[in-house]
Chains A and B, each alone.
Chain A
Amino acid sequence: MIPASFDYHSPQTLEEALTFLQSHSDDAKVLSGGQSLLPLLKLRLGSAGHLVDIGRIPGLEYIKEEGGVLKIGGRTRESALEHSELIQTKYPLLAQTAAVIADPLVRNMATVGGNLAHGDPANDHPATMLALRAEVVATGPSGTRTIPIDQFFLGLFSTALAADEILTEIRIPVPPAHSGGSYVKLERKVGDFATAASAVQLTLGAGGEVASVGIGLTNAGSTPLRAADAEQFLTGKQPSADVIAEAARRASAIATPSADRRGAIEYKRQMARVLTGRALKAAIDWAKEH
């Protein structure tokens, strides 16, 4: 319950933070919301000689649409996403994802940047960002770079972020009309990681066919998984019940979950199918109404 000792720094500017990270790259961790990092340190499962708290750096929490892109600051709290009217009305996938991360108290501290940067496939935002075809902006000592989400998650607890980079912004294309999204998560109880979860974002074409779709799976492998085969199958088709069921089946076929107390491999895979089907239906219903 009590962490081992570490040094704590709370820089006032991004520059200061990055300089420190650069010089202590092998022993420093970024403290954002702390709701993934501090529990690990308390159990002495992870260690860090230095924590760099980016919580005092202004200008990292925002939700705004600009030039056809939804821009979310890396330190934006999950509760802010959950309660944002813009997110609730235009980005249902994101709102529904934020609403099922941990519990309401954790969401008051936890940040979307932290949720992604932790590189845990059991976290909820990674699959959602895959479905949204997001981009991650990483800021380092030599400037910013934009990382497409499909190149961001490298492995278990491993992302494309360098040790001296901070995730400062997430960019999501503003969806066109007749778009919808849904995040369906099966959890053993509120606050748990997903037994399985599916993130769907899609746009319907003029004829009601699926013009474009993104499907991401949570906790189904060592990284979040894009159900590319299912996406391809769906694109251009009328979303009948059979089509949805087949897409869901194809999505689950790529799942490689681990067996644990949440379920055996086969159960989790089948749940990926069931939940993808439900997420697709909900996203389509939304798209039809908006």
Chain B
Amino acid sequence: MAQHQIKVKINGTDHKAEVESRLLLVHLLRETLSMTGTHIGCDTTHCGACTVLLDGVPVKSCTVLAVQADGREVKTVEGLEQDGRLHAIQNGFHQEHGLQCGFCTPGMMITSSALLASNPDPSEAQIRQAISGNLCRCTGYVNIIKSVQHAAAALRQPAEVAAK
């Protein structure tokens, strides 16, 4: 079976790899590139632990082929922190105890960061809907919602200050 040469920009850096057609994007990240922040929690595209941004849009990387990502941009949890500064969503999860075992957390944060990029002031119902493809067993979702709200408030702040 043919191998494919692919080039994927991950967290702003170009990565080249030679991959089988069937290699899942999540395995490209975890196995080929040793970026283990993205996790695997199921085999039927339900749990969302594998969520990454593909061209800015959150998708389940276990149900995308690495070859489909050729020439495209991927953002993983490792790319949330920029220049030593945590993304508001990361800080939100820490401040509001939005994580316990941490396994679903990368996926949750990626999904939530995408939500806040398009909806800066989501209601609780909108947050619940946005994360309905990400399963958590530890937190009961209550503090995850608070974490997203915390991040939303933090992200809105500069504009609000300027508006005064």
CB contacts (< 8 Å) of A51 on chain B: these are 21, 65
Q: In residues 43-59 of chain A, which contact B (Cβ within 8 Å)?
A: 43, 51, 53, 55
Q: Is there an interface contact between B1 and A191, defined as CB atoms closer than 8 Å? A: no
The count of residues in chain B whose C-beta lies closer than 8 Å to any C-beta of chain A is 32
Which residues of chain A come closer than 8 Å to B44, judged between CB atoms?
Answer: 39, 43
Q: Confirm or deny: B113 has a beta carbon within 8 angstroms of a beta carbon on chain A.
A: no
The answer to whether B134 and A105 have CB atoms under 8 Å apart is yes
Q: Contact: A190 with B132, CB < 8 Å?
A: yes
Smallest CB separation, B62 vs chain A (Å) = 8
> Is B95 an interface residue when CB atoms closer than 8 A count as contact?
no
**Stretch of B53-61, B77-85, B138-146, B149-157 contacting A (4+ beta carbons < 8 Å):** B53-61
B37 at the A interface (CB under 8 A): no
Contact of B43 among A42, A103, A105, A106 (CB under 8 A): A42
- A105 near B59: Cβ-Cβ < 8 Å: yes
User: Which residues of the other chain, B, contact A86 by a CB distance below 8 angstroms?
Assistant: none
Q: How many A-B residue pairs have CB under 8 A?
A: 90
B51: chain A residues at CB < 8 Å are 105
Docked complex Cα distance between A3 and B59 (Å)? 19
Question: Is A108 among interface residues, defined by CB-CB distance under 8 A?
Answer: yes
A141 beta carbon closer than 8 Å to chain B? no
Number of interface residues of A (CB under 8 A): 30
Q: Does B97 contact A (CB under 8 A)?
A: no
Q: Which A residues fall within an 8 A CB radius of B?
A: 1-8, 10, 31, 34-35, 38-39, 41-43, 51, 53, 55, 79, 102-106, 108-109, 190-191
B18-43 interface bits toward A, Cβ cutoff 8 Å, 1 = contact, 0 = none: 00111010000000000000001001
Question: Can you name 12 A-B pairs with beta carbons within 8 Å?
Answer: A5-B20, A5-B21, A6-B21, A8-B21, A10-B67, A31-B68, A34-B65, A42-B62, A79-B57, A104-B58, A106-B63, A191-B133
Instruction: Give the chain A neighbours of B68 by CB distance below 8 A.
Output: 10, 31, 34, 53, 55
Are A5 and B58 in contact (CB-based, < 8 A)? no
